[in-house]
Structure 1
Amino acid sequence: MSRRASTRPMRREVVASAVVGNARRLELPARCRRLKGTRAANETETETPRPRHRDVRRTRARSLRSRSKAGALPRSPSESATANSRAAVVRWPLRNQILLPMVGLMLAVIAGVSLLDAYLSARQARGRIERELAEVSRTLSEAKFPLTDAVLRQMTGLTGAEFVLVDDQQVRLAASTATIEPQLLPPERDPTATSEAGPATSPLAMPVRVGTRDFYHSQIEILEPRLARATTLHILYPQENYARAWRDEVYPPLLIGGIATVLVVGLSLAIASRVTRPLAGLHAQVDAIAHGDFRRIDVPRRDDEIGDLIRSVNRMAEQLAHYEVEVRSNERLRTLGQLGSGIAHQVRNAVTGCSMAVDLHARRCGQDEENLAVAKRQLQLMEKYLRRFLSQGQLEAGTHRPVVLQDVVDNVLLLTRPAARHVGIELGLHMSAEPVEVQGDSDALEQLLVNLVLNAVEAASTSKAAAPTAGSIDPGAASAVEPSVDVRLRREGSTAELEVANTGPPPAADLSERLFEPFVSDKPDGTGLGLSVAQEIAAAHGGRVDWYRQGNHTQFVVRLPLI
């Protein structure tokens, strides 16, 4: 019987161990009642006569048909949504919003500059040809030497124009080429006359066709020194020469404008893609977040607004993931509280009966056994926790008053030492001689320390079970650490430190950061509530619980403010 009594302190949470196994049994009667109520309602509805309901449905159907014919029937939400989607604006991607205006503006500027440059170049070419012909005409008209075929051929080499000198009878006196007959030349024109190409005095004023070739024709009156009469000099500038000069001046600006257009379009596409590509990834991540996937997206190297937006979305994803964990944990705690209230009442009745049986056994034995006192004390604490749970809905701390931690440690060691001895673990105690006093609830602080000590005993016993035997050939067997649990109480400035150290293995690495969260445990039969309750009690007293791994010892340190 003493062994049974000593194993009871190993259970740290009275309610949590029974909740999971009895949840479905508690929900089953409610489900049956709901099913029975639904079936009864269906049977009652089946037995009720329905002629009036059918009449009402027929009348309503006729009313709807009449309103539909009259066009007064309102649209359903789905129909309204379909109509709105049809009337919605066509999708205008951000890439096009950036690309098209920028490319359009640049193309307009390039086209305008190219056309203006081509126009000015064409005018410059025409002016240059006209100036050259005008200079040659003035030189020939003022010449004091006779105009012979050789002189006119030299002028053709300089200007590219053909020259024909005739008299008033249209007799050729000299020419730069023998292929142009005087009879094919146009008649004399009024110098003040104009044509589509400009005034008649312009060297490129009148387009004419002489034989099979096209020219721009002009003429000047010259007084030939060897003749005592006036002569006419016909100037014929080939149109193919003018066209060649025009192309040489106009095509380069247009070609440069075309190349610039291609480069601008290509660069604009590249820039727009570079800007909008992270947005596509961001859209995919936000869509994944909407479906519950809170993975991060890589932040681009460049520091810009898109990077800031991606970092904000990543922070949002982290917060949502954290909130989801909290919501699930709160839901589990809420479910535990709802189901635990009924189970706690049953457990309390069982504890009362057990306490009465221990009292009767103590009276019959008539011996002052330590194990019976410990069992009685444990049952009293269990009944106190259950009564508080039933009255407040959770294990909240009571009224705070001055508490001497040495007394709390003594009471806890008195309760937990039988359980430690049962598994072969000795509890070491090192307390400050000076009283360590805090403001708090002694029962809650005892519960906090009981959870830590029992966790330490269980961890140390695990390392003892895994230790090598006496006949082991393991070379490190001789240096194995003896399993132990040490409790230390000391003052550190204005803080009381209560340390529980054990030689057991440390918590799992993947649970180290979530060790004090509810339902987090690496033990097959653990509920994950012991450390969570301990942290909540410490927080209610203005302190906290931390854990460290130093050498072969795992240390849990409770820090509370001193009075």
Structure 2
Amino acid sequence: MGEKRLLNFSYHVRPPDHSAAEFASPTSNFPPTPPSLFPELNLTQSPLRSIRSRILVPLFLLTAIAALAVATGSAWLGSRRAEMETQQRYEGIRKTLQTSSFPLSAPVLRWLADLTDTELVTYDEQGRMLAATLAIARPETKQLRALVFDTADTRPDAAPFEYATQQTKYTVFVSPRRASTSVGGSQETVAVFFNNAQLRKARWQAASLPLVTGLSTVLLLGTMMLFLTNRLVKRIQAIQQAAQLVAGGKFDTRIGDRRKDELGQLGDSFDTMAEQLKQLWATVQQQQSTQLLHQIAGGMAHQLRNSLTGARIAIELHLRHTTSDKKEELEVAIQQIEQVEQYVQRLLTVGSSDQQTNQPQELSACFQDIQSKMGLMAQHHQVEVNWDWAATLESKIIADGPTFTAAITNLILNAIQVAPQVNITAQPIQDEKFQVTIRDRGPGIPAEMESQLFDLFATSKPEGLGLGLPLVQRAADHLGGEVSWRRDGEWTEFTFTCPFADKR
């Protein structure tokens, strides 16, 4: 009855308060996805408050003001230029009339009118109309004569007046002329009519060139500013969208703006910040995973030690009453239990910052221990295992034998579980280092596991916890070595490199 009580152990491990969803995927890390580190960002805004509006609205207003100023200035300059040209044309006609001595008969007056693109009317000293190229109705004759002589009575350069017929409006200049046909030279008055429609056309032609040039310049500048502003806004929007993604936990987001202006420098700073947040999250994730592992391992180790102690005591009691031909098998079982107890103790170091005291050991003893344990495991799984230990390593010392043994055992066990053939070699690579290579012809590492192979809780096995390879990585770090892997054709190869320890 006492022996049965020793064997009747059970344990219940209550993990920390984490939801089952965190362990639902065998290939996921803990925690599975990073939470948002920032409050929900509301980046939607009124169109009038956007940076595009803040830049473009003032620019468009300035452009409109500039266009209005150019149009007004061009119209004013065109009008002034047309007036000057009209004045110059009139001065030319006036000088020609004053210096000429030929009589202004009706044919001559028509010829001058066609030549100067005007209409002409002449009056004598008494105000009688002598000749005219303009058809004037009789009722309008007296009115026109009054306007002409009111202007002529002032000075030669008096301002022109406006006159309109039933069809056309004119600007009229009045010029006195001394005719040479009469004795002593009689005084004549010549009225020069400029068609207002032609004057407006001249004003438009004078204003059109600067107006078109100015508006084209304004339009070109506006288009260029719109293009440059859109480029600027798109770069700012890229930073805005990247900030949203990073705020949601996607720390791999990068802007990648390599331009050397202020926005490019802001993008570089943003990428640096995202990388630092990624590293910070990885550190937090590692700390949480390590803390969880320590809690799980601590709870399991206590119960597992009790169970192993009970099993070992029961086998030892049974060994006392067993015949000699059965003792060897029971002694192997006791050795295996003791090794499992050591392995459980080493498991605690994965989740704890404290390390046990190193136990230097000869590599030959480590190799024998590994081969004896894994040889039985290989026979059980019917796996062909080829061992090749370099003889020059047998006298070398490893800084911590149990840690090295646990790491290599874990790598070999993984290979035995998935492959029909496993090759293990150990050889020196330098005077101070050696490496152990485990090659298997299994299916290899799943593609989705390659980037997180040595992360805690990362596993592709439905029944696995993802603790084995992190233990190997921690052992390599503890011993000052490294562990790596590669796929070589049909073979998966893990290499554990480690320095020798000084002989004491």
Give the structure-1-normalised TM-score.
Answer: 0.70
Find 2:182's aligned residue among 209, 227, 238.
227
Instruction: Please state if 1:457 is matched with 2:416.
Output: yes
Structure-1 separation of matches of 2:63 and 2:353: 73
Q: Equivalences for 1:139-158 in 2 at 5 Å?
A: 139-158=96-115
Counterparts in 2 of 1:491 and 1:207: CA distance versus 1, 3 Å: same
Which residue in the other structure is 2:21 paired with?
none
Deviation at 1:409, TM superposition (A): 1.1
Deviation string for 1:396-433 (max 9, x for gaps)? 64334654322211122123222222222354322222
| Contact 2:427 2:435 survives alignment (8 Å) | yes
Which residue in the other structure is 1:47 paired with?
none
Which residue in the other structure is 1:55 paired with?
none
Deviation string for 1:78-103 (max 9, x for gaps)? xxxxxxxxxx9996211123323333
Which residue in the other structure is 1:516 paired with?
454
Structure-2 separation of matches of 1:519 and 1:391: 16
Deviation at 1:147, TM superposition (A): 1.6
Instruction: Please state if 1:425 is matched with 2:363.
Output: no
Which amino acid letter does the alignment assign opposite residue 57 of structure 2? Answer: L
Deviation at 1:225, TM superposition (A): 1.0
Deviation at 1:307, TM superposition (A): 6.7
Q: Equivalences for 1:125-136 in 2 at 5 Å?
A: 125-136=82-93
Structure-1 separation of matches of 2:228 and 2:160: 53
| Contact 1:431 1:490 survives alignment (8 Å) | no
Deviation at 1:497, TM superposition (A): 0.8
Which residue in the other structure is 1:188 paired with?
149
Which residue in the other structure is 2:127 paired with?
170
Query: Which region of structure 1 is more displaced relative to structure 2, 255-264 or 368-377?
Result: 255-264
Which residue in the other structure is 1:502 paired with?
440
Query: Which region of structure 1 is more displaced relative to structure 2, 446-455 or 392-401?
Result: 392-401
Instruction: Please state if 1:365 is matched with 2:356.
Output: no
| Contact 2:426 2:437 survives alignment (8 Å) | yes
Which residue in the other structure is 1:65 paired with?
none
Counterparts in 2 of 1:532 and 1:338: CA distance versus 1, 3 Å: same
Counterparts in 2 of 1:505 and 1:155: CA distance versus 1, 3 Å: same
Instruction: Please state if 1:377 is matched with 2:339.
Output: no
Which residue in the other structure is 1:246 paired with?
203
Partner secondary structure for residue 359 of structure 1: helix
Which residue in the other structure is 1:530 paired with?
468
Which residue in the other structure is 1:412 paired with?
370
Which residue in the other structure is 1:273 paired with?
230
| Contact 2:426 2:434 survives alignment (8 Å) | no
Which residue in the other structure is 2:36 paired with?
none
Which amino acid letter does the alignment assign opposite residue 496 of structure 2? Answer: V
Deviation at 1:547, TM superposition (A): 1.6
Structure-1 separation of matches of 2:391 and 2:153: 131
Which amino acid letter does the alignment assign opposite residue 413 of structure 1? Answer: Q
Structure-1 separation of matches of 2:164 and 2:350: 119
Which amino acid letter does the alignment assign opposite residue 546 of structure 1? Answer: S
Deviation string for 1:272-327 (max 9, x for gaps)? 33442454454344324323456757868999766776676567657656655664
Q: Equivalences for 1:196-235 in 2 at 5 Å?
A: 201-202=156-157, 205-209=159-163, 212=166, 214-228=169-183, 229-235=186-192
Counterparts in 2 of 1:92 and 1:319: CA distance versus 1, 3 Å: same
Which residue in the other structure is 2:42 paired with?
none
Deviation at 1:537, TM superposition (A): 0.6
Counterparts in 2 of 1:147 and 1:416: CA distance versus 1, 3 Å: same
Deviation string for 1:370-394 (max 9, x for gaps)? 4333322232233345456679963
Partner secondary structure for residue 169 of structure 1: coil
Which residue in the other structure is 2:482 paired with?
544
Structure-2 separation of matches of 1:210 and 1:524: 105
Structure-2 separation of matches of 1:180 and 1:133: 25
Partner secondary structure for residue 507 of structure 1: coil
Partner secondary structure for residue 518 of structure 1: coil
Which amino acid letter does the alignment assign opposite residue 355 of structure 1? Answer: R
Q: Equivalences for 1:44-443 in 2 at 5 Å?
A: 92-179=49-136, 183=142, 184-185=144-145, 186=147, 188-189=149-150, 201-202=156-157, 205-209=159-163, 212=166, 214-228=169-183, 229-251=186-208, 253-254=210-211, 257-258=214-215, 265=222, 268-293=225-250, 296=253, 320=277, 324=281, 327-328=284-285, 330-365=287-322, 367=324, 369-386=327-344, 394=352, 397-400=355-358, 402-435=360-393, 437-438=396-397, 440-443=399-402
Counterparts in 2 of 1:266 and 1:210: CA distance versus 1, 3 Å: closer
Query: Which region of structure 1 is more displaced relative to structure 2, 252-261 or 491-500?
Result: 252-261
Partner secondary structure for residue 191 of structure 2: strand
> How many equivalent residue pairs?
457
Partner secondary structure for residue 188 of structure 1: helix
Deviation at 1:496, TM superposition (A): 0.9
| Contact 2:384 2:422 survives alignment (8 Å) | yes
| Contact 2:363 2:398 survives alignment (8 Å) | no
| Contact 2:454 2:470 survives alignment (8 Å) | yes
Aligned-residue CA RMSD (Å): 3.8
Partner secondary structure for residue 194 of structure 2: strand
Structure-2 separation of matches of 1:90 and 1:458: 63
Deviation at 1:191, TM superposition (A): 7.2
Which residue in the other structure is 2:14 paired with?
23
Q: Which runs of 5+ in 2 are unaligned?
A: 1-9, 19-44
Which amino acid letter does the alignment assign opposite residue 331 of structure 1? Answer: Q
Structure with more contact order per residue of length (Cα contacts < 8 Å, sep ≥ 6): 2
Counterparts in 2 of 1:163 and 1:314: CA distance versus 1, 3 Å: same
Partner secondary structure for residue 392 of structure 2: coil
Structure-1 separation of matches of 2:353 and 2:412: 19
Give the structure-2-normalised TM-score.
Answer: 0.77
Identical aligned residues as a percent: 26
Q: Which runs of 5+ in 1 are unaligned?
A: 1-17, 29-87, 194-199, 464-482
Structure-2 separation of matches of 1:445 and 1:245: 102
Deviation at 1:138, TM superposition (A): 0.8
Counterparts in 2 of 1:226 and 1:445: CA distance versus 1, 3 Å: same
Which amino acid letter does the alignment assign opposite residue 97 of structure 2? Answer: L
Structure-2 separation of matches of 1:27 and 1:137: 110
Partner secondary structure for residue 391 of structure 2: coil
| Contact 1:501 1:556 survives alignment (8 Å) | yes
Deviation string for 1:64-116 (max 9, x for gaps)? xxxxxxxxxxxxxxxxxxxxxxxx99962111233233333444444434433
